[in-house]
Chain A
Amino acid sequence: MNKRQIKLMQGNEACVEGALAAGIKFYAGYPITPSTEIAELCAEKLPQVGGKFIQMEDEIAGIAATIGGSLTGLKSMTATSGPGFSLKQENIGYAALAEIPCVIVNVQRAGPSTGLPTAPSQGDIMQAKWGTHGDHPVIALSPTSVRETYDLTIKAFNFSEKYRTPVILLLDEIIGHMREKVEIPNSDEIEIIDRLKPSVEDADEYMAYKPKKGELVPPMAAFGEGFNFHVTGLMHDDFGFPTNDANISDQLLRRIMKKIDNNVNDITMYEEEFMEDAEFLVLAYGGTYRSARSAVKKARLLGYKVGLFKALTIWPFPEKRIREISNKIKKILVPEMNLGQYVLEVERVVKNESEVHHLGKVNGEAITPEEILSKIREVL
């Protein structure tokens, strides 16, 4: 085996390196702090691998072109932050219903509105799930380190290709902008998934929205390869043509939801630590997880029996596991850089099995280990 490369790398840079490893060939976007390095590096590196970078006129055009790029068969990505993420919502819904794989990176900064452009936040957790209108499938991932940013960017592309759906990668300014030591895995250690394509013989009767029997994800042809199909944001039939038919509409929406709902075990990623004798749980994600881990280690030294849960997949929520945990652990703390978003999901799932506490911070500064530790003390 080749020796792995060890580098000092920034989170945003690892996102681009991960995207390249996953096979990205198209990026369109509009630069916005704190995600700008992703656009800059894509502009530099995509032409070197035969890809294309386009700086669009605005955020909406950025995702629109990304969706178009994917329809031509290229793995496509765009990156943004809060204000741009808001603007992209309509087209995220379009990609979900038209089943166009793409990756949308949101490096979260403090909002609402233009807020604090250079300061971290985790305020877009619920927006990632509910930002676009109507019921729609959502996959959102959130790394806690530079290495995980590399890995989860690859995962984001893999999930988007496998399930033919947009995937949201939620970084925050802490993870996006920090640099740390990373070991880059060799290409033979990385699993890459490409979208399922129809076979050439099927060109005449190709139906872009009809999965094979017993499956949920239809094979996807690329525009320009001789397959004809129609793409619309309206409810549509198997050929992609608009319909008002109640049955077809119902079946379509239920099928695209099932792509995720029936594969929760494949998509849900989390890690646990210090759980054996834990009587108290800290559940954290993204940049805040780093503070939580430091706090939990300090709490352990002080004799508190605290466990730690890291949510890498934000949506779908790791429902089953959190419910199991709540049968055993009666107190759960959720620290997050917002005024109470992910904690709502924990409360929903544990019902009244566990007491759920929240530590929120929205002043543009990271939650410190000390703040989490004193909350642990207060609650225990």
Chain B
Amino acid sequence: MVSRKEIRLSGSGGQGLILGGIILAEAAILDGNNAVQSQSYGPEARGGASKAEVIVSSKAIDYPKVEKADVLLALTQIAYNKYINTLDSNGILIIDSTIEHDHNRNIHKVIQAPILSIASNKVGRAMVANIVAIGLIQQLTNVVTKNSLETAVLNRVPKGTEKLNKSALLEGYQLAKNKYYLEAASV
């Protein structure tokens, strides 16, 4: 049983967040749950603010959009500033290390991790930051199982990039083990 979990992935257009959302939703379905994925983006193909949303539940999902996010991922400062107020008071905030976090905000759990730099420098391709991020989300929330997530990643990434994406996913898992926590529970 998964009660309704609302996940918002935000950043800039071109970072693959919509694909990240699709993969999380597909993994949830492989687990036997219901999932809805939606997105909003501007008319431009790259840049601009982009967000993808995923809702996972073992019950029927009526309203397909996030109302109060249980998980908010922000990969850019603009996305952080824009969506930070939509995080539920018991939610988890996951932000890239490049983001300046407002410590005065009363947020239940904040994880700041070098998602973009791990993708560029360790995995070797900036474009796999989305996969690093969903690996991290899996470890922090268990909203989908590792098995299903791996299957979904391999189903949805372009042919020939399977190995690259698999290693991005493993780096994402690894990030959760490191102590990048800025603040622990303040509640």
Chain A interface (Cβ < 8 Å from any Cβ of B): 6-8, 33, 117-119, 174, 177-181, 287, 290-291, 293-294, 297, 366, 368-370
**Which A residues are in CB contact (< 8 Å) with B36?**
178-180
Tell whether A179 pairs with B62 under 8 Å between CB atoms, given A117-B43, A368-B67, A369-B67: no
Please tell me which one of the listed residues A174, A179, A297, A370 contacts residue B37 in the complex, with CB atoms under 8 A apart.
Answer: A179
Tell whether A33 pairs with B43 under 8 Å between CB atoms, given A8-B26, A369-B67: yes
**Which B residues are in CB contact (< 8 Å) with A181?**
29, 34-35
Complex Cα–Cα for A6 and B41 (A): 28
Tell whether A8 pairs with B63 under 8 Å between CB atoms, given A180-B34, A180-B37, A181-B34: no
Interface residues of B in 129-144 (CB under 8 A from A): none
Complex Cα–Cα for A8 and B42 (A): 24
Complex Cα–Cα for A293 and B42 (A): 28
**Which B residues are in CB contact (< 8 Å) with A118?**
40-43
Shortest CB distance A367–B (Å): 9
Interface residues of B in 42-69 (CB under 8 A from A): 42-43, 61-65, 67
**Which B residues are in CB contact (< 8 Å) with A370?**
67
Question: Chain A's interface: helix, strand, loop or mixed, by majority?
Answer: mixed
Question: Chain B's interface: helix, strand, loop or mixed, by majority?
Answer: mixed
**Which B residues are in CB contact (< 8 Å) with A294?**
62-63
* Interface pair B26/A174, CB less than 8 Å apart: no
Complex Cα–Cα for A368 and B62 (A): 11
Q: Which 7 A-B pairs have the closest CB atoms?
A: A294-B62, A294-B63, A178-B38, A179-B37, A293-B62, A180-B36, A8-B26
Instruction: Give 10 pairs: A residue, B residue, CB < 8 Å, sorted on A.
Output: A7-B29, A8-B22, A117-B43, A118-B40, A177-B39, A179-B38, A290-B62, A290-B63, A293-B62, A293-B63
Complex Cα–Cα for A7 and B61 (A): 16
Closest chain B residue to A8, Cβ basis: B26
**Which A residues are in CB contact (< 8 Å) with B72?**
none
Complex Cα–Cα for A97 and B82 (A): 51
**Which A residues are in CB contact (< 8 Å) with B65?**
174, 366, 368
Complex Cα–Cα for A6 and B33 (A): 11
Quick check: is B128 within 8 A (CB to CB) of the other chain? no
**Which A residues are in CB contact (< 8 Å) with B9?**
none
**Which B residues are in CB contact (< 8 Å) with A174?**
38, 64-65
**Which B residues are in CB contact (< 8 Å) with A368?**
63, 65, 67
Please tell me which one of the listed residues A8, A33, A178, A297 contacts residue B64 in the complex, with CB atoms under 8 A apart.
Answer: A178
Tell whether A291 pairs with B62 under 8 Å between CB atoms, given A117-B43, A118-B40, A181-B35: yes
Shortest CB distance A55–B (Å): 19
From A8, A174, A293, residue with most partner B Cβ within 10 Å: A8
**Which B residues are in CB contact (< 8 Å) with A287?**
64
Complex Cα–Cα for A177 and B52 (A): 11
* Interface pair B67/A180, CB less than 8 Å apart: no
* Interface pair A297/B62, CB less than 8 Å apart: yes
Complex Cα–Cα for A118 and B43 (A): 6
Closest chain B residue to A180, Cβ basis: B36
**Which B residues are in CB contact (< 8 Å) with A117?**
43
Shortest CB distance A259–B (Å): 36
